[in-house]
Amino acid sequence: MVAPALAPGLLTLARWRLLAMHREAGVGHVGGNLSALDAMMLLHHEMLTGRDRFVLSKGHAAGALYVTLWSRGLITEAELATFHADGTRLPGHPPARGLPGSRFGTGSLGHGLPLAGGLALAARLQGRDGRVFCLTSDGEWQEGSTLEALVFCAHRRLANLTILIDHNRLQGFGTTAEVASLDPIGRVLSGFDVEVREADGHDLADMRRVLTPGTGRPVVVVLHTVKGHGVPAIEGRLDSHYLPLTEEQVREAMLGSAMLGGATGETA
């Protein structure tokens, strides 16, 4: 059964809800959530089936995951209001259990790909169909555990594994090029005997093109993204990694012509 295409208006509404949720909670990491949201929505609305697995390695994008699950009807509006609060099941990083499809608590970067590789190998050994998708940040490729996991996945030729890199080029203390450059990351990783593909991480059609299954090797998809995508006041800014949005920034984003038009056009 083919899933219906993700409506741009629903994606816009999810971006609006993400901004409101982070503002209500008074927490940051908005920039990295916005850069990953488009890919996460596309995966959950069009790609993932009951046989597939998803691992969010960049755990600080938990807000984008929660909003995506909300857009699928798997998390309620009332639950989103508890984001980051005491006793919530929606903490700042994904919990290990208690959420649909959430199998691991992630947040200390560099752990998601080893876990995803284990899921992919287990599925093959057990003769199960389905794919494993792992969404990573670009900064965590500076972690030894991530590169070691890639060696393992390539050696085992885990063709059922697709690794997405949210390549927004900014991390906690500067640009990825300044902190520990792996540029161009696609060319660097192609030396690990994986199939490397690249796409615009904010273009749904372009991402659909590169998210087809691999042919005998793991697939690494470099998604070229913009930190803070959709909010001009913070797009491409390092401080969007940590700082929460102001009330004025949220209001301006919600009243922007693209966001307002998309949301009202698709949800009426």
For the chain, the domains span 9-267
Q: Taking residues 212-230, what's their average pLDDT?
A: 95
| Per-residue pLDDT reduced to its tens digit, 135-183 | 999 999 999 999 999 999 999 999 999 999 999 999 988 999 999 999 9
| Alpha carbon distance 43, 59 (integer Å) | 17
Residues 6+ apart with CB under 8 A from 139: 109, 171, 172, 176, 179
Q: What mean pLDDT, rounded, does the chain reach?
A: 91
**pLDDT score recorded for residue 214:** 87
pTM of the predicted protein model: 0.92
Q: Taking residues 205-220, what's their average pLDDT?
A: 96
∠ Cα 101 106 109 (to 5°): 140
Give the pLDDT band (50/70/90) at residue 256: low
**pLDDT score recorded for residue 79:** 95
Q: Does domain 9-267 have CATH number 3.40.50.970?
A: yes
In this prediction, what percent of the chain has a pLDDT beyond 90?
76
Residue 8 has pLDDT above 70, yes or no: yes
**pLDDT score recorded for residue 3:** 61
